[in-house]
A and B are shown apart, each in its own frame.
Chain A
Amino acid sequence: MENLERVLAEHPFLKGLEARHIELLAGCTSNVVFKPGEFIFREGEDADKFYLIRHGKVVVETFVPQKGPLLIRTRTKDDVFGWSWMIPPYKWHFDARAMELTRGLALDGKCLRGKCEEDHDLGYELMKRFATLIAERLEATRLQLMDIYGDHS
């Protein structure tokens, strides 16, 4: 557990969290490994986790019937992905698939939701981090939608 706490504390996403919060998170955390091509979650499934990548690459994608997967965003070392665990109805809206051997940490969203209700300081710290993440994703998505390399640019 001590080792897990150290790994959590060193992850850029959780940097600056108080030791007591890291300890709480560690109680909801497990090590995970995904083989290349393995789905981490699929659209419509319960969103009961989020992930911190320690090594490897993951793609968030959606499946277009008769066309195949449309890749939306890749995530690599030190990235975090998955925020549907904190927003009702707690369902994944996209698929996530390991593009290569990927190692990381899975944080149990159900467990965390309970802990955040009990400890609002922890909830606020996580909310600040996820708000930053969501804002960054929103800006990147807007740029993608602008199709800046198209003929009009």
Chain B
Amino acid sequence: MATTHKNNSLAGPEGSDVMMVRPFKIRRMIKETDDTFSLELGPRDGTRGFSFEPGQFNMLNVFGIGEVPISISGDPTKTDELLHTTRAVGTVTKAMKKLKVGDTIGIRGPYGKSWPVREVEGYDVVVVAGGIGLAPLRPVIYYLLANREKYGKIVLLYGTRTPEEILFRKDLEKWRARFDLETFMTVDRATGDWRGNVGVVTTLIGRAPFDHLNSAAMICGPEIMMRFTVLELQKRGLVDDKIFVSMERNMKCGVGLCGHCQLGASFVCKDGPVYRYDQIRGIFTKREL
């Protein structure tokens, strides 16, 4: 099983330069939680649509402030809608949160390897998301549901810090109501009025309904969460070449030129962010990296 690789040569679609920043208009600002928001964007340069693969990211440029890599969190089957979800934690994302509908933002991309949604056709698919890690995995869920007949069971395990920090509530409500998608959620901590599960996301894996001999897992969240999730999946019998993780490093150029995001012998922006676990397990826990 190999991961899908969107071509990242320096020539972009229709011969354009992949480093070129395109202006996009903010169509909608969606407050997801106290510090997390989504931007719905549309091109200002007259081009139509924006195609991407689930798991890819764009470089978003707040003019005069800076540029950050942000995963695309929308539906890959809808090319007229480009969504990004991020937390306001750094200079650029804090400035981005202050932008208004109608403002312009710069985009270049999409970059990076995507989740192997086509390679896992015929398998049960276990999607494990921690915190804002649900954002780069939401396109996977959209894609799998749009092609539902091609997969076995689809299981979403989602953990976050508190009930107030649950992302994409409307989607989660819809997904939980479906008979062809098993959705389990948990929070790390809660107070008396919470009716759902309490406990870290790894505690959901032991009981998750999937056939370990015929499953693939896609994991995104803080690296500690991914490490322990891998351990639990291995306990369930999943083999390393059926486990995929999304890594995050300090990405700058997005095309593997600058070296800021080097991870061992690879560049996360170009060779990742999605990696097959057996290909990076040797460096997954290396302190120096």
A residues adjacent to B (C-beta < 8 A): 59, 61, 67-74, 76, 78, 99, 136, 139-140, 143-144, 146-151, 153
| CB-defined contacts of A149 to chain B, threshold 8 Å | 130-132, 160-161, 165, 188, 221-222, 225
Q: How large is the interface on B (under 10, 10 to 19, 20 to 34, 35 or more residues)?
A: 20 to 34
| CB-defined contacts of A70 to chain B, threshold 8 Å | 189-191
Are B198 and A71 touching (Cβ within 8 A)?
A: yes
Task: Give, as a whole number of angstroms, the nearest-CB distance from B10 to chain A.
Answer: 33
Are B189 and A143 touching (Cβ within 8 A)?
A: no
Q: Does B174 contact A (CB under 8 A)?
A: no
> Known: A71-B189, A143-B228. Contact between A148 and B130, CB under 8 A?
yes
| CB-defined contacts of A146 to chain B, threshold 8 Å | 224
Task: Give, as a whole number of angstroms, the nearest-CB distance from B51 to chain A.
Answer: 31
> Known: A68-B191, A69-B191, A72-B198. Contact between A148 and B203, CB under 8 A?
no
Of A67, A139, A144, the contact of B189 (CB 8 Å cutoff):
A144
> Known: A59-B198, A74-B197. Contact between A148 and B225, CB under 8 A?
yes
A136 to B194, CA, bound (A): 23
| Interfacial residues of chain B within 187-211, with CB under 8 A of chain A in the complex | 188-192, 194-200, 202-203, 207
| CB-defined contacts of B131 to chain A, threshold 8 Å | 148-149, 153
Are B199 and A147 touching (Cβ within 8 A)?
A: no
Determine the residue in chain B with the shortest Cβ distance to A97: B192
Task: Give, as a whole number of angstroms, the nearest-CB distance from A11 to chain B.
Answer: 14
Are A74 and B199 touching (Cβ within 8 A)?
A: yes
B residues adjacent to A (C-beta < 8 A): 89, 130-132, 160-161, 165, 186, 188-192, 194-200, 202-203, 207, 221-225, 228
Are B191 and A99 touching (Cβ within 8 A)?
A: no
User: How many CB-defined contacts (below 8 Å) exist between A and B?
Assistant: 73
| CB-defined contacts of A150 to chain B, threshold 8 Å | 161
Closest 5 CB pairs of A and B: A149-B131, A153-B222, A149-B161, A69-B192, A143-B200
Kindly list 18 other residue pairs between chains A and B, CB separation below 8 angstroms, not including A144-B188, A148-B130, A148-B221. A68-B192, A70-B190, A71-B189, A71-B192, A73-B198, A73-B203, A74-B197, A78-B207, A140-B202, A144-B200, A148-B131, A148-B222, A148-B224, A149-B130, A149-B131, A149-B161, A149-B225, A150-B161
Main secondary structure of the interface of B (DSSP, over half): mixed
Determine the residue in chain B with the shortest Cβ distance to A79: B207
Main secondary structure of the interface of A (DSSP, over half): mixed
Task: Give, as a whole number of angstroms, the nearest-CB distance from A75 to chain B.
Answer: 9
| CB-defined contacts of A68 to chain B, threshold 8 Å | 191-192
22 A/B residue pairs, CB under 8 Å, sorted by A: A59-B198, A61-B192, A68-B191, A69-B191, A70-B189, A70-B190, A71-B192, A72-B198, A73-B203, A76-B197, A76-B207, A99-B195, A143-B188, A143-B200, A143-B202, A146-B224, A147-B188, A148-B222, A148-B224, A149-B131, A150-B161, A153-B131
Are B224 and A71 touching (Cβ within 8 A)?
A: no
| CB-defined contacts of B207 to chain A, threshold 8 Å | 76, 78
| CB-defined contacts of B160 to chain A, threshold 8 Å | 149
Determine the residue in chain A with the shortest Cβ distance to B225: A148
| CB-defined contacts of B198 to chain A, threshold 8 Å | 59, 71-74
Task: Give, as a whole number of angstroms, the nearest-CB distance from A99 to chain B.
Answer: 6
A76 to B195, CA, bound (A): 12
Task: Give, as a whole number of angstroms, the nearest-CB distance from B186 to chain A.
Answer: 8
Determine the residue in chain B with the shortest Cβ distance to A145: B188
| CB-defined contacts of B191 to chain A, threshold 8 Å | 67-71
A43 to B256, CA, bound (A): 57
| CB-defined contacts of B200 to chain A, threshold 8 Å | 140, 143-144, 148
Task: Give, as a whole number of angstroms, the nearest-CB distance from A39 to chain B.
Answer: 13
| CB-defined contacts of B196 to chain A, threshold 8 Å | 74
A67 to B191, CA, bound (A): 9
